[in-house]
Amino acid sequence: MGKPDEALSVCLEAKELLYSNNIFHFDDLTLSTLQIVFQRLERLDLATSCYEYACTKYPNNLELMMGLFNCYVREYSYVKQQQTALRMYKTVGEERFLLWAVCSIQLQAYFSSGGEKLLAFAEALLKKHISSHSLHEPEALSLYVSILEQQAKYDAALEVLSGDLGSLMGREEDKLRLQGRLLTQACNYVAASEIYQKVLESCPDDWESFLHYLGCLLERDVKLPKPTTGEHTCSSCSVDSNKTSLSEEVESRLASALLFVQKLQKNDSSDSVRGPHLANIEIERQHRLSGNSTKFMEALVNYFHRFGHLSCSSSDVEIYLHMLSGDEITELLDTISRSFDASSVSVKALGLTITTFKVQELLGTLLSKSTTDLQRIAKGMVETFYKNLPLSRDLDPQESMHGEELLSMASNILVQLFWRTRNLGYLLEAVLVLEFGLTVRKHVWQYKITLVHLYSYLGALPLAHRWYVSLEVKNILLESVSHHILPQMLSSPFLQQTASLVKDYLRFMDDHLKESADLTCLAYRHRTYSKVIEFVQFKNRLQRSMQYLAVKSDSVILSLKQKSESLEEVESVLENVNHGEGLVDLSSEDNMKHLTFNEDLEARPWWTPTTSVNFLSEPIDESSTPACFRAEVCKHKSTEKDGPKMRDAERKCLVPQLVYLSMHGCVSSLRETEPNGSVSDITVGEMKTLLEKYARTIGYSMDDALSMILGISSGKKSMKDFAPDIVSWMSFAVFINAMNLWSNESVIPRTDPSSPSSWEIVDSLVKICIEEHLTDANRILTCPGNKIPLLVQMVTEPISWHLIIIQSCMRVVAPQGKKKKKSGPSLRPNMPQLQGIQRSVQCLIETLRSVQKWLSDQMSLEEQGLDILMSYLQGTGDEGPGQTFRVLEEKPAAHASELGDRIAQSLEAWSSTGVVRRIVGAEHEVLAEFKKMVDSKLKLLMSESACLSSVLH
């Protein structure tokens, strides 16, 4: 009912009754109810104390001890879990309680310093129990083996598995895999390879076991990408291409392995088992690395002959394709193309056509094609999709359509054409192709994600947000997928929608971290001890998420942006987060070191491999080879965690407290005399420490950062020196001014009376930055990748912080209503400071008016917007954009009778003009929302200006 205080009061009263001697019996139902409520109130300590007291009163009550154990699980108190579990084991002698204790010890080994010393104790406990009672659960055996494995006692673990206890493992293949792993770790490669061979005989498609098998033969790791690690890998760059010589013995083993794999191939003729055929390619790759292979190409060609019609075939062998030379690539593509009739309409021919295109896309050969060739290929892909639409006429709307990858690839080519030519028509065609695909089938998430990024780049953010919302991203996907929209929304004028996204993300994360311990309790109860470790590891990883830290600070900053025109509401926001102190603690060097990066970047379009990189905003390097481009993409992905993202997260954490300290430093500067002297040195020191840390996140020392600000504001340095952190630099200058107001010593040294004051430096900086970007910011309609997000950030961040400081000053100078103080000698206004504020207010008014005028000019052309954009699509002949657009316009009517009722009906709603009209409307919506924000700030500034005039005159 939303009455947490009353709930706490009732539960505390019940707790007192439990502690009194009037209760004859402790009711477990009452205790568990208290525990649930205390947990929801985030007072786990109170729930634990209730159970602790109950267990002292009734030391042999198993139900109470289990309740206490669960309390310790929820608090992640591994030592107390262990002690309580052992007490239960001693009381009733049940195997599960011993295993709970052992599992608690294992958690200490994983997550506590020095916990590994306890593993020998866990082993001794298990041995003693086994000698008297044996073990009876498969999970018990797995736990015992993992305890031995953690201590590197591989032989002992193998002995356990091969003994009577080994029969507890249900599936023989699982037992063999475990034995193979232990033998490999014990460096007994011959025995391990024999074990893995047995696994492959019964599970020929077990690719991981094959890699382990091959690793044993080579007596080293087979370096292939392992995407399950959670860290970013790039498949095109991960494969090991270093030449290695193989001994005769190893060559002999590989020859035997090849015969074994060929035998597996003969035993299975279906299209579902691809493992042995991929194994053949991997063995030939090892031969090629040693310089002894002539059959690597043959193995690849055979694989495509057998599986080329499957949609996964190209991704299966992607890592091997990157080892081919230019001539080999040409040969492979020719061989695949000759293996089928592209003109026939069949699922198999369509699959092989798509595979041919995919191989070209993966290898980057399209990068070297001429503009004319790319136009022809994109048009051909769309026509092939049309031609094969009848194959999907009887499919369920939820099923994937045959050939839907063609539209994604055509869109990618059109984006590449835009990158090369800067002709907006190609980008519009890329959008139309995907919108058309979603008209035919509305559930293709790949189309939606690409559209999110295309619309973001075009400045049509409302459409990007709409498609993202249609993905219905929930639960853990909020952690791994929200990077597709959140960065764009955070630099947009749509503060309410952004706040909703942030709220959904934080709600999931907070709820999961609160309730994840319940999953651990469930795993204990159901005796799945491997899941106990997994759940705790997962919770730790999420808790240390870089995105979680960043969004926590984004949430506060977003609230400050929304409330920046009301000082009382700003104070309320800051009070709710303890003035930002918690965020500053979270950004400590130790915490930042252990952050995890959980965002899945693989689904991002090729032109924006990470949240901070968009190739379309940069000129294309015509001399770049496909290999160089792949290497650049991989480099961006691998450095995403350690690059600007880390510094941005750290910097954002400092902002709320800097805003708070800036607000509360204004009082002393506006009075010529103060009864209690100036602001305390501790507070000044705190602000200075934060600003030094802030400067480091931009890559400068405090002194160098101050020098940079002075240089830019005086015109001696170029604005390019601020890139790409212009907004951060502006905010830094605003906070420096605030600190300068209430520090005994001027933070910015003034060489003579004519030197600019800190107010004037901020004014100059704001004016220069805004005006320069208004000059560069071309029309949103025809210049995608424009400067509007940057302008929005300038207005919503540094200017908002400056406005909050001005309001704080004005509240002291001209308090309203009952807060008005008596006048006296100690309360005379500091006139020079007031004049500085007045000049600053006037500067902000002039600057924001220039933004207002620019926005009005942009919005005035909305009516012509549709005609302007459609003109880009009206190309004639064989050159320029418009060819793919014409295919989209002509084909639906021509093929309607062959497509079936469902597809034909869906195409009736298709209108390319409607799509373009929506783009124009969305761009206008962005401008209108931004203008509303600017208008609001101007209204407040005009009010403050009038107030200042009355005080000064």
| pLDDT digits 0-9 by tens, 243-257 | 666 778 888 888 899
- How confident is the model at residue 244, as a pLDDT? 65
Rounded (10°) angle between helices 495-525 and 529-543? 160
pLDDT higher than 80, residue 708: yes
- How confident is the model at residue 279, as a pLDDT? 93
Taken in order 708, 711, 714, 718, the sign of the CA dihedral is negative
- How confident is the model at residue 679, as a pLDDT? 53
Query: What is the average per-residue pLDDT within 590-619?
Result: 90
Q: Measure the CA–CA gap between 41 and 548, rounded to whole angstroms.
A: 22
CB-neighbour burial class of residue 160 (10 A; exposed 0-12, middle 13-18, buried 19+): buried
Long-range residue pairs from 385-388, CB within 8 A, at least 24 positions apart, any chain: 385/410, 386/887, 386/891, 386/895, 387/345, 388/345, 388/350
Query: What is the average per-residue pLDDT within 126-147?
Result: 91
Long-range residue pairs from 848-854, CB within 8 A, at least 24 positions apart, any chain: 848/795, 848/799, 848/934, 848/937, 848/938, 848/941, 849/938, 850/770, 850/771, 850/774, 851/770, 851/774, 851/791, 851/795, 851/934, 852/931, 852/934, 852/935, 852/938, 854/774, 854/777
Q: Measure the CA–CA gap between 157 and 137, rounded to whole angstroms.
A: 16
Strand partners, 671: 829
Query: What is the average per-residue pLDDT within 892-918?
Result: 79
Query: What is the average per-residue pLDDT within 200-205?
Result: 92
| pLDDT band for position 234 (cuts 50, 70, 90) | low
Residue among 342, 255, 266, 259 nearest 306 (CA): 266
- How confident is the model at residue 758, as a pLDDT? 85
More confident residue, 680 or 310: 310
In the chain, the domains with their CATH numbers are 171-226+250-291 (1.25.40), 653-671+678-813+830-860+915-952 (no CATH)
Query: What is the average per-residue pLDDT within 265-290?
Result: 86
pLDDT higher than 90, residue 409: yes
| pLDDT band for position 671 (cuts 50, 70, 90) | low
Query: What is the average per-residue pLDDT within 734-738?
Result: 91
Percent of the chain surpassing pLDDT 70: 90
Strand partners, 613: 610
| Maximum Cα–Cα distance across the chain | 101
Per 3-state DSSP, what percentage of the chain is helix, strand, and coil (rounded to 5)?
A: 75, 0, 25
- How confident is the model at residue 245, as a pLDDT? 67
- How confident is the model at residue 241, as a pLDDT? 55
Q: Measure the CA–CA gap between 218 and 226, rounded to whole angstroms.
A: 19
| pLDDT band for position 926 (cuts 50, 70, 90) | very high
Q: Measure the CA–CA gap between 514 and 539, rounded to whole angstroms.
A: 10
Q: Measure the CA–CA gap between 97 and 85, rounded to whole angstroms.
A: 5
More confident residue, 780 or 751: 780
| Cβ-proximal residues to 431 (8 Å cutoff; 6+ apart), any chain | 411, 451, 454, 455, 458, 915, 919
Query: What is the average per-residue pLDDT within 282-286?
Result: 90
More confident residue, 454 or 900: 454
Q: What b-and-e string marks burial along 181-214, b requiring 16 or more CB atoms within 10 Å of the CB?
A: bbbbebebbebbbbbbbbbbeebbbbbebbbbbb
pLDDT in tens, 360-403: 888 888 888 889 999 999 999 999 998 888 888 888 888 888 99
| pLDDT band for position 39 (cuts 50, 70, 90) | confident
Q: Measure the CA–CA gap between 217 and 194, rounded to whole angstroms.
A: 10
| pLDDT band for position 694 (cuts 50, 70, 90) | very high
- How confident is the model at residue 344, as a pLDDT? 82
Lowest mean pLDDT among 427-431, 551-555, 806-810: 806-810
CB 563 within 8 A of CB 570: yes
Lowest mean pLDDT among 56-65, 82-91, 147-156, 615-624: 615-624
More confident residue, 787 or 848: 848
Q: List Cα–Cα distances, 156 to 130, 149, 838, in angstroms.
A: 14, 9, 81
CB 501 within 8 A of CB 486: yes
Q: Measure the CA–CA gap between 201 and 275, rounded to whole angstroms.
A: 12
- Dump the DSSP string for 197-220: HHHHHH-TT-HHHHHHHHHHHHTS
pLDDT in tens, 816-834: 544 444 444 444 556 777 8
CB 239 within 8 A of CB 223: yes
- How confident is the model at residue 175, as a pLDDT? 92
Name the 3-class secondary structure at 517. Answer: helix
Helix (H) or strand (E) holding 580: none
Give the mean pLDDT of the chain: 86
